[in-house]
């Protein structure tokens, strides 16, 4: 069964500090891994997408890494801001039948930035 | 651009009632999706469409129906609402299956 596990479940850090969120997955056959940011009461917003051959990708202060051998990914946030308070969701895509893909969503890490 | 627009934002239904959740996108995306998000759970795919006139079931399709008569619109129909359908529903679209999805802002549905 395809699974995506994220840790920690929740995290509180001071504004300006860095943090790293973790994602472990058991998804096969792997196609790509995505990180989304979801503000409270809003839909998820795409941050990064990485394929098997990519081991790092940045989007501003967000840097995602992927280790396809150990099936782990991390999302590093640099110099956190109050607006970074949100849930961060790891999503892993598997190639399905007939060219369709199947996404498995993690339950997210709830990040709170305090001033 | 408006992106993906969902209506209504909130709705309370009585058991057995029916309703349609509307979803419209203005990005000319071929792929559209309906997900539900329950507390403490990852998003689950209800239905998806790879183009006008083509729809297929996702992981949790029971109790729902969809149609895709145009590229822009992908409504989700609940025929006989049940308390188990209390959830937040998200519509999403993408230009192809390898790209990131654009999500709407969601519809919070409560069935009582």
Using CB atoms, pick whichever of A34, A42, A99 lies closest to residue B100. A34
Q: Does A45 touch chain B (CB under 8 A)?
A: yes
A99 pLDDT more than 80: no
Residue A95 scores a pLDDT above 90: no
Contact status of B101 with chain A (Cβ, < 8 Å): yes
Task: Please provide the average confidence, as pLDDT, over all residues in chain B.
Answer: 94
CA A113/CA A91 separation, integer angstroms: 23
A8-24 pLDDT per residue, tens: 999 999 999 999 999 99
The span from the CA of B94 to the CA of B28, in Å, is: 9
How many residues are given for chain B? Answer: 112
In angstroms, the CA B93 to CA B64 distance is 19
> How far is residue B19's CA from residue B64's CA, in Å, rounded to a whole number?
10
Q: Average pLDDT, stretch B82-97?
A: 94
For the segment A31-46, what is each residue's pLDDT rounded down to a tens digit? 899 999 999 999 999 9
Binary contact (B106, A41; C-beta < 8 A): yes
How far is residue A57's CA from residue B19's CA, in Å, rounded to a whole number?
A: 42
Test A107 with B102 for CB contact under 8 angstroms. no
CA distances (Å), origin B109, targets B10, B31, B64, B75, B85:
6, 24, 14, 15, 8
**In angstroms, rounded to a whole number, what is the distance separating the alpha carbons of residues B20 and B45?**
17
Q: In angstroms, rounded to a whole number, what is the distance separating the alpha carbons of residues B57 and B60?
A: 8
Q: Which of B42, B98, B102 sits opposite A105 (nearest CB)?
A: B42
């Amino acid at each position: 069964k395809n699974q995506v596990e994220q840790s920690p479940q929740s995290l509180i850090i001071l504004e300006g500090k860095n943090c790293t969120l973790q994602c472990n997955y058991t998804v096969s056959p792997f196609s790509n891994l995505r990180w989304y940011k979801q503000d409270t009461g809003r839909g998820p917003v795409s941050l990064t997408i990485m394929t098997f051959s990519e081991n790092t990708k940045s989007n501003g202060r967000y840097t995602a890494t992927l280790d396809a051998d150990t099936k782990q990914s991390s999302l590093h946030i640099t110099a956190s801001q109050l607006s970074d308070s949100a849930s961060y969701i790891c999503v892993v895509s598997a190639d399905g039948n007939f060219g369709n893909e199947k996404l498995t969503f993690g339950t997210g890490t709830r990040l709170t930035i305090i001033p | 651009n408006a992106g993906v627009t969902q209506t209504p934002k909130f709705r309370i239904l009585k058991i057995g009632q029916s309703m349609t959740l509307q979803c419209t996108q203005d990005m000319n995306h071929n792929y559209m999706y309906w997900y539900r998000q329950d507390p403490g759970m990852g998003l689950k795919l209800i239905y998806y469409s790879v183009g006008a006139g083509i729809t297929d079931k996702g992981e949790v399709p029971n109790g729902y129906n969809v149609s895709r008569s145009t590229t822009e619109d992908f409504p989700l129909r609940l025929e006989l609402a049940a308390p188990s359908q209390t959830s937040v529903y998200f519509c999403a679209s993408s230009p192809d299956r390898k790209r990131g999805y654009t999500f709407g802002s969601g519809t919070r549905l409560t069935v009582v």
